[in-house]
């Protein structure tokens, strides 16, 4: 069950993606998401270039301890701003940027391995 702010607590794999959203935890969400060990929440960026410091700060404040943070930038691989990468690096968190499809597959694989991973996934 989600709360009014678009949050579902718990750690979930992403079951499917496309058509502007994601399926996880026996539900679907239209729009981009932030998936962390603490839960999955709706986020407002709808394109890679809308990811800002506030979005990264939200991930850092709500993440617990992460080994790796994956950024799915949409249909194509696009760069994450160097200041945002530095913010994650300064927090001791590795960052990988890739197209959303690859990001979903990588995130799910790392969840299966029991890794502490988070993902910011732009809907495609």
Domain residue ranges of the chain, discontinuous segments joined by +: 7-121
CA distance 42 to 24: 12
pLDDT tens, 23-60? Answer: 999 999 999 999 999 999 999 999 999 999 999 999 99
Residue 61 · residue 38 · CB < 8 Å: no
Class of domain 7-121 (CATH, top level): alpha beta
SS3 88: helix
Check pLDDT > 80 for residue 4: no
pLDDT tens, 65-93? Answer: 888 999 999 999 999 999 999 999 999 99
CA distance 31 to 16: 13
Q: Model's pTM, two decimal places?
A: 0.93
Residues 2-13, mean pLDDT to the nearest whole number: 76
Q: What sign does the dihedral 30-18-110-120 (CA atoms) show?
A: negative
């Amino acid at each position: 069950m989600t709360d009014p702010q678009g949050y579902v607590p718990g750690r979930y794999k992403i079951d499917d993606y496309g058509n502007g959203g994601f399926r996880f935890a026996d539900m679907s969400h239209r729009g981009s998401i932030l998936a962390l060990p603490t839960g999955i929440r709706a986020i407002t960026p709808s394109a890679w270039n809308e990811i800002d410091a506030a979005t990264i700060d939200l991930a850092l404040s709500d993440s617990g301890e992460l080994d790796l943070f994956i950024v799915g930038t949409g249909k194509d691989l696009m760069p994450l701003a160097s200041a945002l990468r530095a913010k994650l690096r300064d927090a001791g968190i590795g960052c990988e940027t890739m197209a959303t499809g690859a990001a979903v597959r990588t995130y799910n694989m790392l969840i299966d391995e029991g890794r502490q991973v988070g993902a910011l996934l732009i809907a495609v």
